[in-house]
Amino acid sequence: MQALIVDDSRFVRGYLRGLLEEKGIACEEAADGQAGIDQLRTGVPFDLALIDWNMPVMNGLEMLKQLRAEGYSDVKVMMVTTEAENDFILRALDAGADEYLMKPFDDEALTEKLAMLGLVEA
């Protein structure tokens, strides 16, 4: 299984990578939405994209809309963000997000969301 972690925080990318790799999920990283789209376009078959909302160049919602518009329908998308208001959650789900994880989070919360997506055992 292959995941794409898109977040402008190097710390968050490293934290997510560590948690995912412990579960046997290989990871690639991107620091903004445009770099994330560029990673998808390389042809690597990503199963999961974990996308922050607030990033420079292209934010997470824009990236989500772009990847769905480009036909990456097999990629499960989890927004991983500090944006906790219902409006943000609804906008992400309407744009094609499969799950929504609030920062800060721990391994248990991440595992629960991955299990909901059918990617790991709970």
Which amino acid would we find at residue 87?
D
Instruction: Give the model confidence (pLDDT) of 64-108 as tens digits.
Output: 999 999 999 999 999 998 877 888 889 999 999 999 998 999 999
Domain 2-116, what fold? Rossmann fold (3.40.50)
Residues 7-28 have pLDDT tens digits of 999 999 999 999 999 999 999 9
pTM, two decimal places: 0.93
Which stretch of DSSP H or E encloses residue 26? strand 26-30
